[in-house]
Structure formats: C-alpha cells, structure tokens
Amino acid sequence: MDKNNANIVLLGSGCFWHPEMIFHRTDGVIGTKVGYAGGTTENPTYAEVCSGQTGHAEVVKVEFDTNVIDFNKLLDIFWDIHDPTQINRQGVDIGTQYRSCIFTDYEPYIEIAKNAIDALNTSKRYNNPISTILYENVTFFEAENYHQKYLFR
C-alpha cells in the first residue's frame, strides 16, 4: 500500500469497543486503536477519563487506505453505528467521554464532516439535531492494552 494514501481520523461514538470492531472489519481500514482525545490531561488513564474530569472522549483511531475506502464512506458507517443526536451519552453509557465526535486536522475532511452534519440535519433523518462535535486536531492517547481489540476475544 502506498503510505501517501493512508489517512487517519479519530471517531467517538460511545464506548470504543464496538466501533473498533466495526471499523477494524471494514474493507480499506488498515488498522484501529482505541484511546482518548479531546481532553486536557496528558496520557490519561481509563479511570481518569471515566471520572469525567479530563475532558477526553473514548475514540477509535482509524487508519484507512483512500484507494479502497473514502472518508465519506467511513462517515456513513459512523452515523449508522450510533445515535449522533445524543449529547454526552450512547445508550446506557452516560458522560462526556461518550460524546459523538470527529477529530481530523485534514482540511478537506473538516469540510466533508461539516457538510455531512449539515446534510443530516437538513434531511431530518433524526428527530433531533446532530450533536456530533468536530475537532480540528488528532491528538490521541492510546488506551491501555486490555482495551485494544477487547471484543475480538
């Protein structure tokens, strides 16, 4: 694979275990890691993130080959695997660490994500407005080893 076609995005859609499994099994995804993004603490632990005091979200780092899958398709999967209208929760998981969020520092992807959020709001696919937060950075702290590929066991 040509490394020039490899891109990275961080996606938060609740607990990171299930989304990691979904993205890991997606054609064109080169690799996944679970971790934390969007907070103020350097190298936070799971316990610190769960406390809600660090500001981090649980995210999946998705590395993908643009020759096989494009960013729009990844976003389609992202919207389908969670409720992007819920604020600071997904199902029974409640807290800011479970917020719906996208992290990218690549300008074309920033615009694509903004347009996708606008299109979803306009489409009325959901009864409530999209609450997904778009962050224009990819600062990522890898979660502890026991969280990696957790549902694959």
> 101 an active-site residue?
no
Tokens 């275990």 -> residue: 17
Catalytic residue from among 8, 11, 15, 120: 15
Please answer whether residues 98 and 58 qualify as being in contact, where contact means their C-beta atoms are separated by less than 8 angstroms: yes
**Residue 17 CA, distance from chain mean position:** 11
Could you tell me which residues come within 8 angstroms of residue 119 by beta carbon, excluding any fewer than 6 positions away? none
Residue 32 class from Cβ within 10 Å (0-12 exposed, 13-18 middle, 19+ buried)? buried
Q: Which 3 state secondary structure label does DSSP give 107? A: helix
Nearest to 58 by CA among 75, 76, 33: 33
End-to-end CA distance of the chain: 28
Q: Known catalytic residues? A: 15
